[in-house]
Amino acid sequence: MTCVKVNELLSVAGQPDAAAFAAFAADGFAAVINARPDGEEPGQPGNTAEKASAAAAGLSYSFVPVKGAEITEADIFAFQATMAQAKGPVVAHCKSGTRALTLHALGEVLDGRMKPGDVEAFGQNLGFDLAGARRFLEKRAGQAPHVTAFFEPRTCSVQYVVSAPKTKRCAIIDPVLDFDEMSGATGTANADAILAHIESEGLTVEWILDTHPHADHFSAAHYLHEKTGAPTAIGAHVTDVQTLWKEIYNWPALKTDGSQWDQLFADGDTFEIGGLKARVMFSPGHTLASITYLIGDAAFVHDTMFTPDSGTARTDFPGGSAAALWQSIQAILSLPEETRLFSGHDYQPGGRHPRWESTVAAQKRANPHIAGIDEAAFVALRQARDRTLPKPKPKLMLHALQVNIRGGRLPDPEENGRRYLKIPLDAL
Ligand SMILES: N[C@@H](CCC(=O)N[C@@H](CS)C(=O)NCC(=O)O)C(=O)O
Ligand SMILES: [Fe+2]
C-alpha cells in the first residue's frame, strides 16, 4: 500500500488491509476516509469491515465513496467536512490514492486556494495523475445553471438554489420549514440559510418552486415568498391532492383550486430563470401532482429516482402508482445522457455521505430499479419494497400535508393566537 503525505493534515493511500489501520493509529493519524465504493474487486475489505477496523484502532471513519468520472460537489464537500471535523491528521484512501487526492485538490480549487490550471502539476509532484480533476473543472466551468444544494439531515431532504451565472437570477426548489414533532416547534433555520447564501452570492430570487406536496416535511415556500416577494409555483395536479386530503381532514373551508400558489404548472409549460430556459415535465407516481423542472441541463427529479445506489421513490402514498412512476422515470431517462439529475432526498445507504446528483447515463447504468428492468419487473419490485417501508407512511405525513396543500402556510392562529395541527385518527 502506498501512502503519500500531502500536507500536515492529509495523506492519501492505496487500499489498506485490516492491519494497516493499527499502523495508521501508531503513525499518529486520527481519522480514515474511505473514498472507494464497495465491490470494486474481489477481496476488497469494504465499508463495514473498514469501519470495524477503524473503530478497533481508535480511528474516526467516514465513507465518501466516489467513482472517478462521477464525482460531484457533494463528494468534495463531504471530504472537506470530514477534514474539518478530524481531531488530527487524516489518511484518505481509494484503490490507488488518486480519487482521494482528486477530492482534496478539487476542494482546494472550489475554495480558491488552488488555480484550476495548477491541479495536474500538483498531482504529478506527488506521483498521481489528476487529469480527471481537470476534466471535472472544465465541465463545471461550462455548466449552466449553477446548482447549490442544501441537505436537511432531519428529513434527509435536499433543497436547491438554481442560478443563471450571467444574470445572477435564481430559483429556490423544495425549501424546508423546520418542524420538531416532539415539541411542536417550527423554525426557519434551513430557509434562512438559503436566504443567507442568496444574499452572499448577490442573487435575485425569481421563483420559489415545489416539485410536489411533500409528505415528510413542511414546505418553506410561503415563508420565502413573504421574505423575497418571489412567486410560488407547483404542479397543476396539486388540486387533485387538495381534493383527496380535504376529505381526509374533513376540511370544508379548504380551497381546492390551487389558489394558494401564484402559478400552477402543467406538463410542457415553459418559463425562464434569468434567461435560462425551464420546462415542466409532469412526473406522477410518487404523488398525483409531482413535476420535474428541467432547467438548462439540470433536471430536478425530486422523488422519482434517487442517486443510483438508492433506487427510486415509494409509491404507496394516497394517489401513488408504481406504473405511473415507471412512465415518469422513462420520460426523464429520454433526456440527453449527460443531463444532470438532482434528487429530492438521500437516505445515505451504508452510512455514506449525502449525495443528490447523478446523470441520465449513470441512472441507466447503475440504478438497480432501472438498469435491465422492464415495466412489469419495476412495478413488482417497487410494490414489494413499498410493503417493507415503515407504516403509516413518513412519520410526518399527517402533519405535513395540511401545511403543504396550502403552499407551506401553517394553520391560521386560533383566538388565543396559537396555531394547531389536526390529526385524523384511523384514517389511512
Ligand atoms: N422514514 C422516513 C421515510 C420518508 C419517506 O417515505 N420518503 C419517501 C420520499 S417523501 C421515499 O420515497 N422514501 C423511499 C425509501 O424510503 O426507500 C420518514 O418517516 O420521514
Ligand atoms: Fe416526497
pTM for the predicted model, two decimal places: 0.94
Q: At what angle do helices 18-26 and 47-57 cross, to 10 degrees?
A: 30
Q: If you ran DSSP here, which 8-state letter would residue 135 be given?
A: H
Which long-range contacts (C-beta less than 8 Å, at least 24 apart) are formed by 110-114?
Answer: 110/73, 110/76, 111/80
**What's the pLDDT score for residue 389?**
86
Q: Could you tell me the three cell numbers for 247? A: 376529505
User: Which tens digits make up the pLDDT trace of 3-39?
Assistant: 999 999 999 999 999 999 999 999 999 999 999 999 9
**What's the pLDDT score for residue 254?**
98
Residue 320 has pLDDT above 70, yes or no: yes
Please tell me the distance from the alpha carbon of residue 43 to that of residue 41, in angstroms, as a whole number.
6
Q: If you ran DSSP here, which 8-state letter would residue 252 be given?
A: T
Residue 30, CA atoms < 13 Å, CB-side half-sphere: 11
**What is the best residue among 158, 216, 305, 398 to mutate for testing ligand 1's pocket, by most ligand atoms within 8 Å of CB?**
216
Domain ranges across the chain: 3-141, 146-402
**Averaged confidence pLDDT in the chain:** 97
The CB of 154 under 6 Å from ligand 1? The reply is: no
Cβ-based neighbours of 86, under 8 Å, separated by 6 or more: 9, 30, 31, 60
User: Which tens digits make up the pLDDT trace of 36-54?
Assistant: 999 999 999 999 999 999 9
Query: Nearest residue CA, atom 20 of ligand 1?
Result: 394
Question: What mean pLDDT do residues 93-121 have?
Answer: 98
**What's the pLDDT score for residue 392?**
59
**How much distance in Å is there from the Cα of 92 to the middle of ligand 2?**
34
Q: How far is CA 390 from CA 35, 386, 387, 393, 394, in A?
A: 31, 9, 8, 6, 7
Antiparallel, parallel or unpaired: β 298-302 and 340-343:
parallel
Residue 132 has pLDDT above 80, yes or no: yes
The CB of 94 under 6 Å from ligand 1? The reply is: no
Residue at 271: amino acid letter: F
Query: Nearest residue CA, atom 18 of ligand 1?
Result: 394
Residue 215 has pLDDT above 90, yes or no: yes
Instruction: Find where cell 495508521 sits.
Output: 24
Please tell me the distance from the alpha carbon of residue 274 to that of residue 165, in angstroms, as a whole number.
9
**What's the pLDDT score for residue 178?**
98
Question: What mean pLDDT do residues 87-112 have?
Answer: 98
Specify whether the backbone of 285 is left (phi greater than 0), alpha (psi in -120 to 50) or beta: left
User: Which tens digits make up the pLDDT trace of 224-254?
Assistant: 999 999 999 999 999 999 999 999 999 999 9
**How much distance in Å is there from the Cα of 86 to the middle of ligand 1?**
31
The CB of 382 under 6 Å from ligand 1? The reply is: no
Ligand in closest contact with the CA of 348: 1
What is 3-141's CATH topology? Protein-Tyrosine Phosphatase; Chain A (3.90.190)
Ligand in closest contact with the CA of 393: 1
The CB of 215 under 6 Å from ligand 1? The reply is: yes
**What's the pLDDT score for residue 237?**
98
Please tell me the distance from the alpha carbon of residue 45 to that of residue 263, in angstroms, as a whole number.
52
**What's the pLDDT score for residue 391?**
72
Ligand in closest contact with the CA of 396: 1
**How much distance in Å is there from the Cα of 107 to the middle of ligand 2?**
31
User: Which tens digits make up the pLDDT trace of 387-425?
Assistant: 998 775 799 999 999 999 999 999 999 999 999 999 999
Residue at 187: amino acid letter: G
Going by CATH, does the domain composed of 146-402 fall within 3.60.15.10? Answer: yes
**What's the pLDDT score for residue 112?**
97
The CA-CA-CA angle for residues 174, 179, 180, to 5°, reads 145
Residue 356 has pLDDT above 70, yes or no: yes
Antiparallel, parallel or unpaired: β 357-359 and 298-302:
unpaired
The gap from C-alpha 2 to its chain's centroid, in whole angstroms, comes to 34
Q: Could you tell me the three cell numbers for 379? A: 412495478
Residue 313 and residue 325 in contact, taking contact as beta carbons nearer than 8 Å: yes
Report the percentage of the chain scoring pLDDT > 70.
Answer: 100
Q: How far is CA 189 from CA 134, 150, 246, 305, in A?
A: 36, 12, 30, 27
Q: How far is CA 75 from CA 38, 99, 104, 128, in A?
A: 16, 11, 10, 19
Question: What mean pLDDT do residues 115-122 have?
Answer: 98
Residue 428 has pLDDT above 90, yes or no: no
